[in-house]
Amino acid sequence: MKLIKGFNINQTDFSAKATSRDYIVNGDDSAVFSLRVRRDSDEYWYDFTANTFVSTDTSRNRLTNKKIKGSFSSSIFFPARAAGDVYTIYLFAEPHFDTKIDQSLSDNPVLYITKLTQVADSTITFSVKSTSYGDKFGTLPTTVTSTGSPLQSGVTVVDIDWNFIGSTSNGNSHGFTLIGQPLEDHWITRTALVVSGTTSSSTEVNIIRSTGVYVGMTLREVSSGSLSGEPSVTNVNIANTREATLTLSSAQSFADGITLTFQDRGSNQIARSHGFSFANENFTSGLANSNYDYYDEGGTKANESYHTVRSAPSNSTTVTISPNTLGIAGGATVRGINVVNTGANAIQAVGEDETSANDGSIVLQINQQTTLVAKTALYIDGSSFYANIKGEIHIKSYPTNNLTVYLDLDKILIPGGPDA
């Protein structure tokens, strides 16, 4: 009998984009074969005439009785598929043409099977998070997303330009103060897992199995009970398809069914845990004026917020403010025509006016005089009702699963308070 001796096709995984794969069937002259290709997720079959996958199984879904003359070559077209897929290729020898498959290729003399994998795209969502001051922020910026292939080569650039607006709620209307610039170590991920079974003073905890927890992550929050310190994950043992056992760096006690929130911090740890590799480029943060104009840190206007004097003080540290005190924080400083700044003169207290009722005030360290007349413009340095963070994220590789990455605002931008 004539032998089919080889089926050659590039079997490396390919991206969700449309692609073609050439194939070659080798064998004895006059050996006869047929070919079918199935998309596994929906069991659609390849139409060799239309070069696409269809739900109806017809004669066009089989490349039938092809005769080898030295070799036979053609190609298969795989359409774009964002969710990815697996494709099964069936190569049949046709015994009624005295053909079988060589044993070196398949133990089955009439059938050889191979599979190709199309890898799904993944989406990275960039967001912001404040663990310590979340309820004190006003309007947070919208998230930014980027979708790409885990197989990509090269760099994808994602632009970030986030504006922040302070809170107008009573007690929280003192705007923002800037404490740092965005670094790669300021990006974090969060993963929530459910405890399976009670844990009492043990470093081991069983969790309902989920992707996204890895050695090096820290346990930051529990939905009920208490957390002793911030233990890190030192080992992950996948017990079965339902559960995994985590080993923590310190003993903990947890009730069954509570939620544990784990955190990764920094680009290096996120890359190790999730396969998402990225870098910060040209990132800056700064306070801005009410028109959202952005100023680099260190620029004259970077830390300015604009208000006016309501009525002239008379040898007093208290200055009345119009139209409100939004964005003025204790510890900030004041500039303006005839403002006495002969020494340290930080704002010691803010008499809050978040509703523009014209009843707000600030208390300074140095007495102010009547020469500081009504309607004088006051420039507040060190706090503002508006802030901005912008820069570029250079994505070097996408993870295999969707991922949300947060910029930790607690390291960069925090709400101001009424007192110095």
Are 340 and 256 within one domain? no
Closest CA to 260 of 314, 205, 312: 205
Are 407 and 267 within one domain? yes
pLDDT at 92 over 70: yes
Domain residues for the domain of 86 are: 2-118
Are 8 and 89 within one domain? yes
Region 17-39: mean pLDDT is 97
pTM, whole model, 2 decimals? 0.85
- Write down the pLDDT at residue 307: 86
Tell me the per-residue pLDDT of 146-169, one tens digit each, with 9 for 90 and over: 999 999 989 999 999 998 888 888
- Tell me how far apart the alpha carbons of residues 64 and 38 are, in angstroms, rounded to a whole number: 15
- Write down the pLDDT at residue 355: 83
pLDDT bracket for residue 353 (50, 70, 90)? confident
Are 82 and 139 within one domain? no
pLDDT at 212 over 90: no
pLDDT at 300 over 50: no
Are 163 and 261 within one domain? yes
CA 96 to chain centre: 58
Tell me the per-residue pLDDT of 260-270, one tens digit each, with 9 for 90 and over: 999 999 999 99
Mean pLDDT rounded to a whole number for the chain? 91
pLDDT bracket for residue 170 (50, 70, 90)? confident
Q: How many domains does one find in the chain?
A: 3
In terms of pLDDT, which residue wins out, 168 or 25? 25
CB-side neighbour CA atoms (13 Å) of 355: 5
DSSP state of 343: S
Amino acid (1-letter code) at residue 158: V
Closest CA to 304 of 395, 380, 403, 365: 380
Please give the span between the terminal C-alpha atoms of the chain, in angstroms, as a whole number.
93
Q: Are 181 and 285 in contact (CB under 8 A)?
A: yes
- Tell me how far apart the alpha carbons of residues 288 and 303 are, in angstroms, rounded to a whole number: 7
- Write down the pLDDT at residue 133: 87
Are 377 and 404 within one domain? no
pLDDT at 46 over 70: yes
Tokens of 11: 């079997």
Are 185 and 273 within one domain? yes
- What are the strands, taking DSSP E only, across 10-43? 19-27, 32-39
pLDDT at 111 over 80: yes
Is the peptide bond preceding residue 323 cis, with omega within 30 degrees of 0? yes
pLDDT bracket for residue 290 (50, 70, 90)? very low
Share of the chain above pLDDT 70, in %: 95
Residues 6 or more apart in contact with residue 43 via CB below 8 angstroms? none
The order of strands in the sheet holding 19-27 is 71-78, 19-27, 2-9, 99-101
pLDDT at 286 over 90: no
CB atoms closer than 10 angstroms to residue 290: 14
Tell me the per-residue pLDDT of 64-73, one tens digit each, with 9 for 90 and over: 999 999 899 9
Closest CA to 54 of 46, 63, 62, 64: 46
- Write down the pLDDT at residue 28: 97
Q: What is the CATH number of the domain that holds 346?
A: 2.40.30
Are 273 and 185 within one domain? yes
Region 271-299: mean pLDDT is 72
Amino acid (1-letter code) at residue 201: S
Region 230-259: mean pLDDT is 91
Would you list the DSSP string of 91-126?
EEE-GGGTEEE-TTT-SSTTEEEEEEEEPPPEEEEE
- Tell me how far apart the alpha carbons of residues 87 and 78 are, in angstroms, rounded to a whole number: 9
pLDDT at 75 over 90: yes
Note whether residue 420 is domain-resident. no
Are 399 and 373 within one domain? no
Region 133-142: mean pLDDT is 83
- Write down the pLDDT at residue 34: 98
Of all helices (H) and strands (E), which one includes residue 270? helix 267-274
- Write down the pLDDT at residue 297: 40
Note whether residue 256 is domain-resident. yes
Q: Are 340 and 366 in contact (CB under 8 A)?
A: yes
- Write down the pLDDT at residue 303: 43
Q: Are 321 and 310 in contact (CB under 8 A)?
A: yes
Burial of 55 (0-12, 13-18, 19+ CB in 10 A): exposed
Closest CA to 272 of 129, 155, 399: 399
* Dihedral (CA of 213, 215, 216, 222) sign: positive
Are 199 and 343 within one domain? no
Are 397 and 379 within one domain? no
pLDDT bracket for residue 295 (50, 70, 90)? very low
pLDDT bracket for residue 54 (50, 70, 90)? very high
pLDDT bracket for residue 292 (50, 70, 90)? very low
Note whether residue 128 is domain-resident. no
pLDDT at 384 over 60: yes
Q: What is the CATH number of the domain that holds 83?
A: 2.60.40.1930
- Write down the pLDDT at residue 305: 58
- Write down the pLDDT at residue 210: 66
Are 25 and 84 within one domain? yes
Q: Are 383 and 328 in contact (CB under 8 A)?
A: yes
- Write down the pLDDT at residue 291: 41
- Write down the pLDDT at residue 22: 98
The order of strands in the sheet holding 156-166 is 137-139, 156-166, 386-397, 277-288
* Beta pairing class for 99-101 and 44-47: unpaired
